[in-house]
Amino acid sequence: MSLKEPSRPSLYLVMDERGRAIERLYRERYVGFRNAVATVSGDYERARDAVQEGFVRAYRSRGQFRGDGSLEGWVWRIVLRAALEQRHGQVELPLNEVEAELIEPERDPVLAEALRELSPRRRLVVFLRYFADLPYATIADVCEIDEGTVAATLAQARAALAQRLIEEGVQP
């Protein structure tokens, strides 16, 4: 009797691969996660806690990742939910209602005010792009929208920000 090679990888191998991918994502992108989550949680200390909690949740539930989008996008949704729970309790807020703000608005009050005037969804997309340095595809996964919608949202946000800054006498 000979042992046959399985035609598909076992669930344990897939789980180990996902676990390693999540660990690698944490090591390589932690600063981006912390910086972006700080805009949701209100400060870097709470952001650090939310990022760690989110990654623990992602690692524990890695078997639930269906592969519909990117693993990074899936982890981002979990981390953002951890940050929202930390800030608002166990309230189930849709991600497009996330209130992201500059951490130190006093450093640039005009920009902080211009960002506050954006809709929550536009603001989240701006923060994911420019604070987390995410590509359009990952932002689309996180927000569960099309890449074209990400591009349009960013274009609209940049135009609104530029207009507001010009009104305030600041050259964008």
pLDDT of residue 122: 92
pTM of the model: 0.79
Q: What is the pLDDT of residues 132-149, one digit of tens each?
A: 889 999 999 999 899 999
Query: Among 63, 159, 58, 52, which residue's Cα sits nearest to residue 114?
Result: 159
Q: What is the pLDDT of residues 143-172, one digit of tens each?
A: 989 999 999 999 999 999 999 999 988 876
CATH of domain 11-167: 1.20.140.160
Place of tokens 């990952």: 138
The better pLDDT of the pair 15, 105 is held by 105
pLDDT of residue 45: 94
pLDDT of residue 2: 45
DSSP string, the chain: --PPPPSS--HHHHHHHHHHHHHHHHHHHHHHHHHHHHHHHSSHHHHHHHHHHHHHHHHHTGGG--SSS-HHHHHHHHHHHHHHHHHHSS----GGG-----S-GGGSHHHHHHHHTS-HHHHHHHHHHHTS---HHHHHHHHTS-HHHHHHHHHHHHHHHHHHHHHTT---
Query: Among 93, 51, 58, 94, which residue's Cα sits nearest to residue 75?
Result: 58
The residues spanned by each domain of the chain are: 11-167
- Residue 91 pLDDT level (bands cut at 50, 70, 90): low
Q: What is the pLDDT of residues 34-80, one digit of tens each?
A: 999 998 888 899 999 999 999 999 999 998 998 888 999 999 999 99
The better pLDDT of the pair 16, 4 is held by 16
8 A C-beta contact, residue 75 and residue 58:
yes
pLDDT of residue 105: 83
15: its two tokens: 């789980």
8 A C-beta contact, residue 40 and residue 83:
yes
pLDDT at 14 over 60: no
